[in-house]
Amino acid sequence: MSTADLHTILSIDEGPAAEVINPDGAAPVCLVCEHASAFIPASLKDLGVSPDQRFSHAAWDIGGRDLAMALSHALDAPLVASRVSRLVYDCNRPPSAPDAIPAKSEVINVPGNAHLGEADRVARIAEVYHPFRQTLHTTLDGFVSPPTLVTIHSFTPVWHGQKRDVQLGLLHDSDDRLAKAMLDAAPNGVNTQLNAPYSVTDGVTHTLREHAITRGLQNVMIEVRNDLISDPNGVARFAEILTDMLTHALAMQRAT
Ligand SMILES: [Zn+2]
């Protein structure tokens, strides 16, 4: 696809599909937030979803960007964040995944993704997934020594009518070192679990696999229940908790 073919979905004014916050951050940590934004380009006409669904957890990780920003500040670490809703393209999924462009998310139908033609699918990949992937790739290349890759997510407290008790999930792919070290550093009073509320078998570790495992980087996927980070106080609390856990876990890794 030539450059001239881009901007069929995202206009030039709507900007690139990914951004780097605190690009000169000094910490050997790269933060990633694939579901940071609920933005749907005007050309896609809200994908046909209703106004109350437009900013639900189906469209983005509620509180995820705020938490990732707070961590970027606290750790002085670069943050790569998506600027487009996962309903347009889920940057934590490879193009081959059926839910990369979901026609249904939990109980929400996404009419604009149903019966998507090949040209439209290719355009979503070219204008959202590839720029995000390239931005993360370039950011990782910019570290002077191999960084730790940490992805930041949030999850809904109720899924298909089932209440979730877990508050903080630490997920891993084939490398479980950092997730387990962070679990050991979890504070009392926060229901923290390994590989919850879902895990690698649900296809959620694409970024870890693609960008960390292949490079041999330490990595973890962090999931916070979104009702706990829906306001500034909650964000500040979890930024502090996670900064402590991560700092402690990385220090333990260096000591062994
Ligand atoms: Zn997410």
CATH number, domain at 83? 3.40.630.40
Q: At 55, list the tokens.
A: 């900013």
- What's the pTM value of the predicted model, to 2 decimals? 0.95
Overall number of domains in the chain = 1
Q: Cα separations (Å) of 247 from 65, 71, 123, 134, 205?
A: 20, 11, 40, 28, 22
- What's the CA-to-centroid distance between 194 and ligand 1, angstroms? 16
Amino acid at 129: Y
- What's the CA-to-centroid distance between 154 and ligand 1, angstroms? 6
**pLDDT (0 to 100) of residue 131:** 97
Q: At 67, list the tokens.
A: 């938490």
Q: What is the mean pLDDT of each run of 10 residues along the chain (256 residues)?
A: 67 94 97 98 95 93 98 98 98 95 91 94 96 98 96 96 96 96 96 95 94 97 98 98 96 79
Grouping H, G, I as helix, E, B as strand and the rest as coil, residue 18 is strand
**pLDDT (0 to 100) of residue 7:** 78
- What's the CA-to-centroid distance between 91 and ligand 1, angstroms? 9
Residue 72's domain comprises: 3-255
**pLDDT (0 to 100) of residue 2:** 47
